[in-house]
Structure formats: C-alpha cells, structure tokens
Amino acid sequence: MNPLKHVAIIMDGNGRWGLKYENSRNAGHKAGLKTVEKIIKETIKNKIRFLTLFAFSTENWKRPKKEVDYLFNLLENFLINKIDNLHKQNIRLKILGSKKFSNKLNKLLDYSEKKTSKNTKLQINLALNYGSKLELIDAFKKIKRSHNKINEKNLEKYLQTKHIPDPDILIRTGNTRRLSNFLLWQIAYSEIFFEKKLWPAFTEKDFNKIIIEYKDIKRNFGNI
Ligand code: FPP
C-alpha cells in the first residue's frame, strides 16, 4: 500500500455548477467552499498531512471584477469565522502565491499563517494568486543571485513548496483534463485523477474512492 502524505486539488467547476443550479457563478463558489470544508474533514480522517488547494490562479484576475471580489470576500469571511477553529484543530494554514490583495486580506492572511504556524496535524496550502511558471522563474532568478549550481536540490530550496513533500495525488474536478499552471515541477511523479463531477458536487465518498485506488497503484518513480 502506498503511503499518502499529500493531496493537491484543482477545484474546478464552481461556475458551471452555480449557473446550472442557481443561475449564478458566485453561488457555485459559495457551494464550493462547503466542499472545501468537507474535504478538510475527510483529509484529517485519512491522516493526510498536507492538503494543497488551488483557489485562485495568476490568470484568474482576467475574470469580471464582480466575481473576483466575491471570491476574496468569501475567503475573508471564511478566515474571520474559521481560523480559530482551524487553529484549535492543530491545522496550519500556508499561502502559496504572492499576496497582492487588499490590505485587509493581506493582513488577515499573514495573521492566519502566523497564528497557525506551529500546528502539526494538517497543513493546508492555499494557492492564491499562484502560477507555477512564475514560481519557477523566481526560483531560477534566486539561484542565479546566490551563485549556486542549478540542480534539483538547489531549485527546490527556492520553490514556495520548500519543506513540503511533493503531492502523491493530484485531483482535478470539473471534467477537464489540464494542469492550468499548477505545481508543474512538484507533480512530476504524482498520480493524477481527473474527476467528472464539478467541485461543489464532489463528495467525501468520491475523495475516499480516489484514495483507495491510489493506495494500490504500483508507483515506479522511473524504476521497474
Ligand atoms: C474554479 O472553478 C474555482 C475557482 C477559481 C475558485 C475556487 C474557490 C473555491 C472552491 C471557494 C472558495 C475557497 C476558499 C478557500 C475561500 P471555475 O469558477 O473556474 O468553474 P468553471 O470551470 O465551471 O467556470
């Protein structure tokens, strides 16, 4: 049975779900947040140490301002209402990506990261304004400045995922088979699961089914 330390998820399909059931993309984001909460609980039940969630990409700024504002509002309220509870559950929150949001949200994110920084049960990496190509370019620039050799070990020191093991599993919901500039370096050997369901419709049962399937995969890492 394969050990499982890290699950990464591209939570796709909120907009389509919202339009279909409530005639509003934002309603889909609201429902998507409920799925986030369910999957956090299930991750803990499965004793998985790292959960990485792609919540907003560097490309998502192209969306209408109304939708972007709604998403960040949702995140703000989530942190205001839930960070104490996450902290009590020994959960650490880490942000991947660059914090270029409103002053209020930047402060809230800093506060949440700091408050939970010593927690050890589960680390949730929330990718916000994150893009893998930008992360890699920044890492190469830093190596160049340090005059160190370009090799895997040195590059990984400068990635935002330093100290985080590579994902064992990458899940993408929403019936689309692409990686959307997410953790391109880190998923080199991840097992990838493309799920037809839209994110708000994704359940604990779907999550557990993937985990069970993953555990029996023969992972070769280039060997035979
Ligand atoms: C992709 O679906 C989803 C997002 C860009 C946002 C993800 C946000 C959430 C799951 C809720 C908020 C989470 C937190 C942590 C506050 P899409 O909108 O691209 O869906 P579509 O492909 O159907 O248009």
Q: What are the tens digits of pLDDT across the range 48-58? A: 999 999 999 99
pLDDT higher than 90, residue 91: yes
pLDDT for 12 = 98
pLDDT higher than 90, residue 221: no
* Beta strand extents in 36-162 (DSSP E only): 50-57, 91-96, 122-130
pLDDT for 118 = 98
Task: State in Å: Cα 112 to ligand 1 middle.
Answer: 21
Closest Cα to atom 10 of ligand 1: 32
Task: State in Å: Cα 172 to ligand 1 middle.
Answer: 12
The overall average pLDDT reported for the chain is 97
Over range 97-114, report the average pLDDT. 96
Tell me, using a 6 A CB cutoff, whether residue 24 lines ligand 1. no
Q: How confident is the model at residue 83 (pLDDT cuts 50, 70, 90)?
A: very high
pLDDT for 222 = 84
Task: State in Å: Cα 119 to ligand 1 middle.
Answer: 26
Q: Which atom of ligand 1 is nearest to the CA of 18?
A: 23
Q: What Å distances lie between residue 79 and 2, 23, 142, 144, CA to CA?
A: 33, 27, 32, 37
Residue predicted with more confidence, 224 or 141: 141
Q: Which domains does the chain have, with CATH numbers?
A: 6-130+167-215 (3.40.1180.10)
Tell me, using a 6 A CB cutoff, whether residue 39 lines ligand 1. no
Tell me, using a 6 A CB cutoff, whether residue 55 lines ligand 1. yes
pLDDT for 179 = 97
Q: What are the tens digits of pLDDT across the range 148-188? A: 999 999 999 999 999 999 999 999 999 999 999 999 999 99
Tell me, using a 6 A CB cutoff, whether residue 13 lines ligand 1. yes
Residues marked as catalytic: 12, 60
Tell me, using a 6 A CB cutoff, whether residue 60 lines ligand 1. yes
Tell me, using a 6 A CB cutoff, whether residue 11 lines ligand 1. yes
pLDDT for 150 = 95
pLDDT higher than 90, residue 78: yes
Closest Cα to atom 11 of ligand 1: 33
pLDDT for 42 = 98
pTM here is: 0.97
Tell me, using a 6 A CB cutoff, whether residue 78 lines ligand 1. yes
Residue 128: beta bridge partners?
A: 56
Task: State in Å: Cα 32 to ligand 1 middle.
Answer: 7
pLDDT for 193 = 98
Q: Which atom of ligand 1 is nearest to the CA of 29?
A: 11
pLDDT higher than 90, residue 224: no
